[in-house]
C-alpha cells in the first residue's frame, strides 16, 4: 500500500531530526569532556550522511584541523573540499 506524501515527508524529517540530535549530543559531550574545540584537531570517520552532518556541526567550532577518513577516498576528498578539511588514508579499514 502506498503511503500518503505527508507521511513520507514526516518520516524523512523524523530520521533527519534523530541524526541531528545524535550528532548534537556527541558534540556537546565532547565539549563537556574536552572544553573548547579552539585549536584542536578532530578525525571524522565516514563521509556519508552522518559524516557530512557531523562536519557541518563542527565547522564553526574553531578547530585547527578536521581530518576525514573513509573507505572511498573520492567521497573523503569531496567532503574535505566542502569543509576545508584534510583526507587521511584509510588503507587499514576493511570493507
User: What are the tens digits of pLDDT across the range 64-83?
Assistant: 999 999 999 999 999 999 99
Tell me the three cell numbers of residue 29: 559531550
Question: Which of 31-40, 55-64, 74-83 ranks highest by mean pLDDT?
Answer: 74-83
If you ran DSSP here, which 8-state letter would residue 66 be given? E
- Residues 43/67, Cβ–Cβ less than 8 Å: yes
d(Cα 46, Cα 63) in Å, to the nearest integer? 18
Amino acid at each position: 500500500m502506498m503511503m500518503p506524501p505527508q507521511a513520507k515527508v514526516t518520516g524523512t524529517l523524523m530520521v533527519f531530526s534523530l541524526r541531528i540530535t545524535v550528532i548534537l549530543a556527541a558534540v556537546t559531550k565532547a565539549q563537556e569532556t574536552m572544553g573548547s574545540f579552539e585549536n584542536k584537531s578532530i578525525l571524522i570517520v565516514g563521509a556519508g550522511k552522518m559524516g557530512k552532518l557531523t562536519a557541518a556541526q563542527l565547522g564553526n567550532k574553531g578547530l585547527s584541523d578536521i581530518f576525514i577518513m573513509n573507505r572511498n577516498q573520492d567521497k573523503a576528498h569531496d567532503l574535505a573540499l566542502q569543509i576545508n578539511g584534510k583526507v587521511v588514508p584509510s588503507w587499514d579499514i576493511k570493507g
